Amino acid sequence: MRGWVLACAAVVAAGATFVPGALADSEEEEKGKGVVLDVEQRHVASIPRGGTLVIRPFSTEGTDFGTGGEGGKEKRVEAAAKLRAEAPGLLAEAAKGEVTEARTFSKVLIDPTAKPPAGALVLEGRFVKIDPGSRAKRLLIGFVGSSGVTVEGRLLAADGKVLADFKHTRHSIMGVYGGDYVKLLSRDARDIGEDIGKFLIDFAGATPER
């Protein structure tokens, strides 16, 4: 599993960069308050069930690593580097797990380079931020210093038509004395993947089977 995640991340980093769509402007984000995700803009009423979903692991090119960026403390920098390699695979697998359990699609492929077959849907995006957070800020102003992950993405038809744009954040509440950055940020990445899966289920009008 670890080898697959690292290989997948390497392909993502070397491949085409996801270009942000309609959610770059904060005013547009406010208009797009989501049903499932923080911000959603659904450009069609619904998506079909039962077809193929191709998940392109989200890019980490250009990601803001916050306190884990250059010049940060060693543990935070190490955590950010690890998440840069592993977060795309964690998110993709979590999204796949949600829609597979709900039987929303007949086939779900995680492939950064696959040409989608006719009628397929394509999920792609990028990590906007992977931030280990700041203990000093947590001590002074609480939640502002929490660690967190933010992504933006879109759902496409096989012909490239944009069916939806979205943006979503998950925060981990870390104690004032710190915590396991990798564990918390990994959980955030998986949680975002699950949330995106729920978004796709809702978009298709499918109810998860629990």
Q: Which domains does the chain have, with CATH numbers?
A: 2-203 (3.40.50)
Locus of tokens 């004032």: 176
Residues 108-117: pLDDT tens digits? 999 998 899 9
Q: Which among 98, 96, 64 is positioned nearest to 83, based on CA atoms?
A: 64
Exposure letters 153-168 (e unless 16+ CB within 10 A, then b): bbbbbbeeeebbbbbb
pTM of the model: 0.82
Looking at residue 14, what is its pLDDT?
37
Looking at residue 125, what is its pLDDT?
98
Looking at residue 100, what is its pLDDT?
97
Residues of the chain falling short of pLDDT 50: 1-16, 26, 138-145, 176-178, 208-210
Q: Which among 188, 183, 186, 182 is positioned nearest to 168, based on CA atoms?
A: 188
Looking at residue 36, what is its pLDDT?
96
Looking at residue 176, what is its pLDDT?
45
d(CA 20, CA 135): 31
Looking at residue 62, what is its pLDDT?
96
Looking at residue 52, what is its pLDDT?
97
β-pairing verdict for 162-172 and 39-42: antiparallel
